[in-house]
Amino acid sequence: MDICIFNSNTNVNEQDYEVVERKGIGHPDTICDSLAEKISANYSLYTYQKYGHIFRHMIDKLSILGGKTKVYFGGGEFIKPIRILLNGRFTENFCNEKIPYVDIATETIYEHMKFLFPMIDCKKNIEIIDNTHSSQGPGVVYKKDGTTNNERSSFFNIKNETFIQYHNNMNRTNDTSTTVSFYPYTVLENVVLYVENQLNSKEFKRKYSFVGNDIKVMGTRIGKNIDITTCIAFISLYTPDKDFYRNNIKFLKSFLIDILSQKYLGYTFNISINTRDNLENDDLYLTLTGSAVESGDEGAVGRGNRSCGFIPFCRNISLEAPCGKNPVYHTGKLFTVIGNIISNRIYNQIGIENTVYLTSQMGGKIEEPWKIAIGLTNNSFISSGLKSTIENIVNEELKKHNKTTQDIILEKIKLY
């Protein structure tokens, strides 16, 4: 397996300008990513524990159509429910035994939405629309008598135990795709993550229950000057009046500047919050649940954070949407995770900032990607010893892909 290792000048920390975005856990796009990933994990666990195999599925096209609410200081009400569209495919039968994948998806959605929005009555305020199917996809050619020797005909409807062997795809990749991973993160990337994580932490919510979790953070850096603009949803039940709202916008600005200035010495910070607000016209980011998903905002898998948890506009990134993809053989997901692990290991073992590119060719071996390239920053001297160390890291992680799949379905690895 040939690995291209090359010098790259992409050290984003040293660039004069940088911009990074983080969509918080209550943002409609992030909700879609998390739901798709959790449904995939729970379905995988169900079939693995019951049948010993992770059956074919993909729910990476899940989307949300926002509901409708009426809010006022001190409360509010739902007018129309949030609609969640289950768009994808599941193996629905095993030897005439029905696999309850819609029940698994429904329980997963209710559990996670209740976690995000405790005030939601899931059965009243959420409508789940089942758009799933079990079509095998292109590639099955039938004879005139209606029969075929192609195993794909039973990909999503297992006729007998013989066909189980095809559900690991014979350790072949299911797509032609490219994933991009990098490590370490820049100061601004860490700042953007830190802001959203602090505002959505359990400790912060216990003290300041009026703060919802639909928090979007956009950060820019020019030299050592960092500007942050963030939208922070207020929860109407815990926001008694306009003065409370106005005063706590000021508090949140002060809070963020204080914690950032203490943690990131040598940088200056400017904070803007809810910049569209017009208090005179009662145009405020006031919500019933803490998210714009309640009132018309839509979401879709893959439109939000990259697998690193943010959107780094000044880096090379993959447009793959890993959440909800099959964790066994779909390289848009599996290679994203493996690439992230490889990049992290290279930095922690060698101390060189790097970018990892993994390109799969449909039908190829998972352990042998079609193309592998690794860019090392700061014009590092690429000795034979360095090349050998990196190649060993790459080969070790690719061979461990089955363990990586297990870590994914156990949610030890987060992709959003």
Supply the pLDDT for residue 162.
78
Question: How many Å apart are CA 337 and CA 348, to the nearest integer?
Answer: 17
pTM over 0.75? The answer is yes
pLDDT mean values, one per 10 residues, the chain (416 residues): 85 92 98 98 97 95 97 97 97 93 98 96 97 83 80 78 80 94 97 98 96 98 97 98 98 98 97 96 96 96 97 95 97 98 97 96 96 87 91 98 97 94
Give a three-class secondary structure readout of 95-113: CCEECCHHHHHHHHHHHHH
Domains identified in the chain and CATH numbers: 3-13+177-183+304-409 (3.30.300.280), 28-138 (3.30.300.10), 186-293 (3.30.300.340)
Which pLDDT value is given to residue 231? 97
- Quote the pLDDT of residue 64: 98
Find, among 146, 144, 256, the residue nearest to 204 by Cα. Answer: 256
Helices (H), 323-367: 331-350
pLDDT value, residue 17: 96
Q: What are phi and psi of 315, to 5 degrees?
A: -115, 165
